[in-house]
């Protein structure tokens, strides 16, 4: 096994484990519970053993049910674990020769994933996750030396989302979207941030229309979580999607 393959394999394992921990974070932060203590079934309240906590595999082998009481376990758990493993693998694949940068990227994408899940489930973007994104983004900006581009991008997001918040008295967008987009701007720089904004609204429009068509949401929906759309737009922009268009447009 080559060093690159081994690195990706290890990142995948860590990603799955962190995904499992992320599910605990999301649940306990919402319930304002301590992060300490053993995991337990939400139905029978019994503590879970090692065989109940193996990422993805436990859910599959147990048929998505508690081993003791038979209660249904949310599909959120394996989905978050798989997505976490995926972003860790992506980070390792993008930076196979720079483990430090791969770890920073994996941590940023992990926090972005948890922010998105929290926003979908509870319409919240916890400061803990957004701060994690901002810290990782700031470190990467300092390492790359693209400080001016990142500061320019930060101004763009503050004006765009901050302006919406002021003009609508907080109805058009939330403060969480302002903080999240600002943290992502530090990471992506100016061109990446412009691409992120464009892609976020495009993805948001497509997914919203799809959900309306399927009857998952209705026109009476007061708020649709925008955090996941920002996350998808940011990831696509980071991978270079959309930036070529703006290079032509701005040239």
Residue 30 shares a structural domain with residue 149: no
Q: Per residue in 115-136, pLDDT tens?
A: 999 999 998 899 999 999 999 9
How far the first Cα of the chain sits from its last, in Å, is 46
Per cent of the chain over pLDDT 90 is 57
Using 50, 70 and 90 to split pLDDT, how confident is the model at 4?
confident
pLDDT at 241: 85
Residue 178 shares a structural domain with residue 222: yes
47 CB-near residues (< 8 Å, 6+ apart): 38, 39, 40
Domain that holds residue 182: 100-251
Residue 129 shares a structural domain with residue 24: no
Residue 194 shares a structural domain with residue 251: yes
The pTM of this model reads 0.92
Using 50, 70 and 90 to split pLDDT, how confident is the model at 217?
confident
105 CB-near residues (< 8 Å, 6+ apart): 90, 91, 94, 95, 136, 140
Number of domains in the chain: 2
Q: Is pLDDT at 211 greater than 80 in this prediction?
A: yes
Residue 39 shares a structural domain with residue 113: no
Residue 235 shares a structural domain with residue 129: yes
The crossing angle, in degrees rounded to 10, of helices 227-238 and 99-122 is 160
Residue 231 shares a structural domain with residue 196: yes
Q: What is the mean pLDDT of the chain?
A: 88
Residue 229 shares a structural domain with residue 148: yes
Tokens 């919402």, residue?
Answer: 30
Q: Per residue in 71-92, pLDDT tens?
A: 788 899 999 999 999 999 999 9
Residue 236 shares a structural domain with residue 120: yes
Sign of the torsion formed by the C-alpha atoms of 153, 90, 112 and 10: negative
Q: What is the mean pLDDT of residues 172-197?
A: 93
Residue 151 shares a structural domain with residue 189: yes
Q: Where does a domain end: 81, 97, 113?
A: 97
Residues 79, 126: Cα–Cα separation, whole Å:
20
């Amino acid at each position: 096994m080559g060093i690159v393959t081994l690195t990706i394999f290890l990142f995948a394992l860590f990603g799955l484990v962190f995904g499992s921990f992320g599910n605990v974070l999301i649940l306990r932060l919402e319930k304002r519970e301590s992060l300490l203590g053993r995991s337990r079934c939400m139905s029978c309240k019994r503590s879970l053993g090692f065989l109940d906590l193996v990422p993805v595999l436990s859910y599959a082998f147990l048929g998505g049910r508690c081993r003791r009481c038979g209660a249904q376990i949310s599909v959120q758990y394996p989905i978050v674990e798989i997505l976490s493993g995926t972003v860790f693998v992506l980070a390792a694949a993008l930076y196979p020769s720079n483990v430090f940068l791969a770890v920073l990227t994996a941590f940023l994408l992990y926090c972005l994933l948890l922010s998105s899940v929290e926003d979908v489930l509870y319409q919240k973007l916890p400061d803990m996750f957004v701060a994690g994104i901002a810290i990782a983004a700031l470190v990467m900006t300092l390492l790359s030396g693209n400080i001016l581009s990142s500061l320019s991008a930060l101004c763009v997001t503050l004006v765009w989302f901050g302006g919406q918040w002021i003009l609508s008295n907080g109805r058009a967008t939330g403060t969480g979207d302002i903080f999240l987009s600002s943290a992502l701007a530090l990471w992506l720089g100016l061109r990446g941030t412009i691409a992120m904004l464009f892609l976020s609204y495009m993805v948001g429009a497509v997914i919203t229309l799809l959900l309306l068509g399927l009857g998952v949401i209705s026109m009476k929906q007061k708020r649709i979580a925008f955090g996941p759309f920002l996350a998808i737009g940011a990831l696509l922009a980071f991978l270079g999607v959309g930036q070529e268009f703006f290079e032509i447009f701005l040239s």
